[in-house]
Structure 1
Amino acid sequence: MSTERTHDLDANKAVVRRFVETVWQRGDVSAMDELFTPDSVLHDPSDDVRGPEAFRTYNQRYLDAFPDLEYTIEDVLAEGDRVAFRARMRGTHRGPFMGIEPTGETFEGEGIIIARIEDGKIAERWASFDALGMLRQLGLVSDPADADV
């Protein structure tokens, strides 16, 4: 692999790490314009988010609902203009979230995110997170295994 190609992959991974550190770990959503292209898109099973302002709102919703949120990158891989990473989230439900009043319960879950990098910014992301597991841990959805048959 050429030095230039290795540098590109390292630079792409650095953009994703900076996003996680700045937004999720420090709670600073003001950096979205620096981190995302103006026409960036998040493909998420629950919502398609478009542009830095929508990303600010999307991320702030999680940070408000889970003020003690911990977000950790467990693995990161890069190929071409894509960076894939496995992340672990944990937090306590202390604020309204998607119309649900705080439960005071904690959750821990994993997700896989793929980011496409364009000119040093995140242009597109695909996210898959165990939302059902999160809702179960928060006591909002019962586990079918607990149901009487």
Structure 2
Amino acid sequence: MPDVVDRLMSAVNAHDQGALVECYAPGAVAVSPEMQAEGWDEIIAFQRHIVEGFPDLRVTVWDKLVCDDTVVVEGTVTGTHNGPFLLTEGEVLQATGRSVSVRCCWVFTVEHDLIVSHRGYYDQLECYSQLGLRLPAPG
């Protein structure tokens, strides 16, 4: 079962949208702090947006845990912010030229060797501070 997640991580690192979409079921949902994407078109658009913001984006997997239909991956995402990037409050940050290295965790639900749910978590304070920003104040 984790083979599809391995293929996804390879597709992300290769910036291969065709290979990426082949990892998801047609009605898959991907959720992250920035947005929710439903279906192939939205998932590809979201991935394209991330790569536009960080053209040299690279995922390094530290660990993977498989339990029934759930796969959890822990790792680091690195890249240089050379394009627009959607922030959690909905604003777009233009290129800063800064490099980031952010700890992440992804939780996947897999059915019939396809991802049906993808939930991404990352240290937003770590990311924002490396981009020269502050997290938005509550309220």
> Take 1:43 and 1:53, find their aligned partners in 2: how far apart are those partners?
14
- Report the residue type matching 1:139 in the other structure: G
SS for the counterpart of 2:5 is: helix
1:121 matched to 2:114? The reply is yes
SS for the counterpart of 1:139 is: coil
- Report the residue type matching 1:132 in the other structure: L
Q: Residue 29 of structure 2 aligns with which residue?
A: 41
Q: Which protein shows a greater Rg?
A: 1
1:94 matched to 2:96? The reply is no
Compute the displacement of 1:126 (Å).
1.6
- Report the residue type matching 2:133 in the other structure: L
Percent identity, please. 27
SS for the counterpart of 2:109 is: strand
Q: Residue 69 of structure 1 aligns with which residue?
A: 57
- Report the residue type matching 1:71 in the other structure: V
Compute the displacement of 1:43 (Å).
2.5
Compute the displacement of 1:46 (Å).
2.6
CA contact (8 A) 2:21 2:44 kept: no
Q: Residue 5 of structure 1 aligns with which residue?
A: none
Q: How many residues align?
A: 130
1:25 matched to 2:13? The reply is yes
Compute the displacement of 1:104 (Å).
0.5
Report the TM-score, using the length of structure 2 for normalisation.
0.88
What is the CA deviation profile of residues 51-97 of structure 1, one whole-angstrom value per residue up to 9, with x for unaligned ones? 11111011111111111111111100101011011021011100111
Compute the displacement of 1:25 (Å).
0.6
Report the TM-score, using the length of structure 1 for normalisation.
0.82
SS for the counterpart of 1:104 is: coil
> Take 1:97 and 1:43, find their aligned partners in 2: how far apart are those partners?
16
Q: Residue 48 of structure 2 aligns with which residue?
A: 60
- Report the residue type matching 1:72 in the other structure: T
Compute the displacement of 1:132 (Å).
2.4
> Take 1:32 and 1:108, find their aligned partners in 2: how far apart are those partners?
22
CA contact (8 A) 1:32 1:53 kept: no
Compute the displacement of 1:33 (Å).
3.6
Q: Residue 4 of structure 2 aligns with which residue?
A: 15
Compute the displacement of 1:47 (Å).
1.5
